[in-house]
Amino acid sequence: MKPHQLVLLAASCCSVLLASVAMAMQASPPKEASPIYGVTLPDGYRQWQLIAPAQEGAPLNELRAVLGNRTAIKAYQSGAQPFPDGTVLVKLAWKHEQSPEFESASIPGDATTVQVMVKDAKKYASTGGWGYGRFVRGKPADEAQHKTCFACHEARAKARDYVFTRYAP
Amino acid sequence: MKPHQLVLLAASCCSVLLASVAMAMQASPPKEASPIYGVTLPDGYRQWQLIAPAQEGAPLNELRAVLGNRTAIKAYQSGAQPFPDGTVLVKLAWKHEQSPEFESASIPGDATTVQVMVKDAKKYASTGGWGYGRFVRGKPADEAQHKTCFACHEARAKARDYVFTRYAP
């Protein structure tokens, strides 16, 4: 191989490498973490198993579904509490919308929030072992909103390891 | 080994075998198929991915969740219709019940029905390529109920390959 061929080869390798790096950066933009807790949206949560749906009346008027990672599902199935470290629960919420096909049915409209609870008994010792994240279109809500998470879970669900959602059979 | 020992050994082997058969039968009782369509409850459907929750008003007052097997999820993601053979959709339904922790929230109460749609364009050619099953506590509903499935899906959702549920983002 002649010198100018080597240069061409090196240049072509470099551009392939740079293109790969650019694609990788595009595929996984840096995730924004919630204030106070540093919780991010977990990878692939939309594929997680359903724990239960729910409906929220006025003024929010939402349909919701809580999904859990494998650790969460195992904990629900065994009934063991508190939930072990590594448990992650994700609540998806959508506007409650009239079905176009059925007068009596309501279906998900626009997505509103995605809310995350992550169990880490040491890291989140001061908030019952749970870290919280509330996201709107992938962006975390502000610190003021995150200050309300633990207060409400503590007031209403402390006896159930701060978790509202029961597994739907 | 003496003859009476052989008889004892054979008897003990038989009882172990019979016990295993009994346990196997208990673990997987024969599944009952729906009338007209011969559809059964698919294995492991409760672990399938969520397509969307829904709410059904009076008189049923139910919370619902539609789950899909991998073929179903792929078809939803690609947007390709009609759904390919092997698509299975399962709708779980529960009574709509007041949350004990939140005045504004409703959660799943008792399970009411599990409804299944199976795509097989040839087998179910006369009903739009879909077979239907409606189950109450694991038992298929009667033939009269199954006669209503296709009529309603045809009247209201034919343009969407007879499927009501849209994927919730």
What's the mean per-residue pLDDT of chain B? 89
CATH of B45-160, one of 3.40.50.970, 1.10.357.10, 3.30.2420.10, 3.50.70.20: 3.50.70.20
Nearest-CA distance B100 → chain A (Å) = 9
Q: By percentage, how much of chain B surpasses pLDDT 90?
A: 80
What is the CB-side half-sphere exposure of residue B68 using CA atoms within 13 A? 24
Each residue of B78-106: pLDDT tens digit?
998 999 999 999 999 999 999 999 999 99
Residue B21 has pLDDT above 50, yes or no: no
Of A52, A60, A96, the CB nearest to B108: A52
A17 versus B167: the higher-pLDDT residue is: B167
| Chain centre to alpha carbon of residue B87 | 12
Work out the minimum CA distance from B54 to partner chain A, whole angstroms.
Answer: 5
Contact A55 B55 (CB under 8 A): yes
Which pLDDT does position A123 carry in this prediction?
Answer: 98
* Residue A23 in this model has a pLDDT that exceeds 90: no
Q: Where are the domains of chain B?
A: 1-29, 45-160
Lowest mean pLDDT segment, chosen from A35-39, A83-87, B17-21, B62-66 = B17-21
